[in-house]
C-alpha cells in the first residue's frame, strides 16, 4: 500500500474542501465536532517539539478561516479519541481557545493505525532529520518494513531512506546538534563518512566554532583522509 492509497482509505476520494458550522462538509461527508478535551495526541507522532513560532502561520489561518481540513481520529476503548492526522491543527485550536474541532472518525486496525500515523507524519516538511530517522527505524522495528518498503510507501529513493537512517549511528551530541538546528542534515551526513565517534565529535566542534558550511566541512574531512 502506498502512502497515498493509505490516506485515501481514511479520507474519501471526494476531498473535503470546507467544513460548515453545523459539522457537515460541503461534500456531504459527515464531520463531527469533537471536544478538544476528549482528544489525545498520537504516541506515534515523530515530531518531538511544537513551538508557537513553528505554528504561527497555521494559527493565523485558523483564526481567520477556521479549520478547513478536519482532523482524522480513531475512537479508543475508553471513549476518548486519538489523533491519526492533524495534531498541529489540534494544538493550534487549543492555543486559540476553541472548544471543539471538526473531525472524521475512522475505525482502523491498531497496527494499521500506527503505521498510517507514522507514514502520514513522516512526510511533513517541518520534521528535522533525526525525527525522520527515528520514525523510519520505528517502521522497521515495529512493522517489519524494509527500507525498500518504506521508500515505496513514501515515494522516495531507497538511498534517501538509508542515508537518513545512518544518522542514528552518530554520537548523541551530534544527533542533538541536528535536532537543535545547530548543524544541518548535510553536515550530519558528511560526518557519517567518518567511522570514529571521537573524530565525529571533533569535527562537530570545528563546524560550530568556525561556522563551516557543508561544503567546507566535506573539504576538511576529505583533506584529513588524504593526509593519513
The set of catalytic residues is 87
State CA 221 to chain mean position distance. Answer: 31
Q: Helix, strand, or coil here: 156?
A: coil
Contact of 147 with 140, CB cutoff 8 Å: yes
| CB neighbour class for 148 (10 Å; exposed up to 12, middle 13-18, buried from 19) | exposed
User: For helices 147-154 and 110-122, what crossing angle results, to 10°?
Assistant: 70
Residue 194, exposed/middle/buried by CB under 10 A (0-12, 13-18, 19+)? middle
Amino acid at each position: 500500500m502506498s502512502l497515498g492509497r493509505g490516506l485515501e482509505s481514511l479520507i474519501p476520494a471526494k476531498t473535503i474542501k470546507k467544513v460548515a458550522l453545523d459539522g457537515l462538509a460541503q461534500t456531504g461527508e459527515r464531520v463531527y465536532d469533537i471536544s478538544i478535551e476528549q482528544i489525545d495526541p498520537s504516541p506515534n507522532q515523530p515530531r518531538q517539539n511544537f513551538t508557537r513560532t513553528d505554528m504561527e502561520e497555521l494559527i493565523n489561518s485558523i483564526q481567520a478561516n477556521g479549520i478547513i481540513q478536519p482532523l482524522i481520529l480513531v475512537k479508543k476503548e475508553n471513549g476518548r479519541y486519538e489523533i491519526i492526522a492533524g495534531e498541529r491543527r489540534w494544538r493550534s485550536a487549543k492555543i486559540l481557545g476553541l472548544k471543539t474541532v471538526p473531525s472524521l472518525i475512522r475505525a482502523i486496525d491498531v497496527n494499521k493505525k500506527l503505521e498510517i500515523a507514522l507514514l502520514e507524519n513522516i512526510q511533513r516538511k517541518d520534521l528535522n532529520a533525526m525525527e525522520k530517522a527515528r520514525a523510519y527505524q520505528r517502521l522497521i522495528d515495529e512493522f517489519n518494513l524494509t527500507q525498500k518498503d518504506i521508500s515505496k510507501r513514501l515515494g522516495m529513493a531507497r538511498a534517501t531512506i538509508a542515508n537518513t537512517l545512518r544518522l542514528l549511528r552518530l554520537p548523541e551530541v551530534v544527533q542533538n546538534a541536528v535536532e537543535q538546528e545547530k548543524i544541518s542534515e548535510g553536515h550530519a551526513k558528511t560526518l557519517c563518512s567518518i567511522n570514529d565517534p571521537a573524530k565525529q565529535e571533533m569535527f562537530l566542534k570545528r563546524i560550530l566554532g568556525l561556522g563551516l558550511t557543508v561544503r567546507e566541512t566535506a573539504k576538511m574531512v576529505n583533506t584529513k583522509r588524504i593526509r593519513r
